[in-house]
Amino acid sequence: MKTDELKVANMKCNGCASTIIKELMKIDGVSEVTVDKENDTVVITHNEVERKVLTAALLHLGYPEATEKNGLLLQLKSMQSCVIGKINAN
């Protein structure tokens, strides 16, 4: 098993965290996902999943690595994921 810690942008609430966990757990080889909203980090335990697969999944959800540019479209996408995550968490 391998663990990657990724710093992400646009994470705002528990809904965001819920969406990130749910969607990353769908990736074959991912066994655990932990989100730290206070530090904007996502820790992923996996069986040799390529880092680019993980970062691409986060980007698709609207939570790019903090090193990437954050445009308005990505911020809107993360707000949508945030709302969906809040609905699914309840």
* Residue 24: how many other CB atoms lie within 10 Å: 22
Q: Which segments of 1-90 does DSSP mark as H helices, in order?
A: 14-24, 51-61, 72-89
Average pLDDT of span 40-54? 95
Domain boundaries, the chain: 2-89
> Which CATH fold would you assign to the domain 2-89?
Alpha-Beta Plaits (3.30.70)
Q: Give residue 72's pLDDT.
A: 43
Residues 6+ apart with CB under 8 A from 50: none
Question: Tens digits of per-residue pLDDT, 18-39?
Answer: 999 999 999 999 999 999 988 8
Q: pTM higher than 0.85 for the full model? A: no
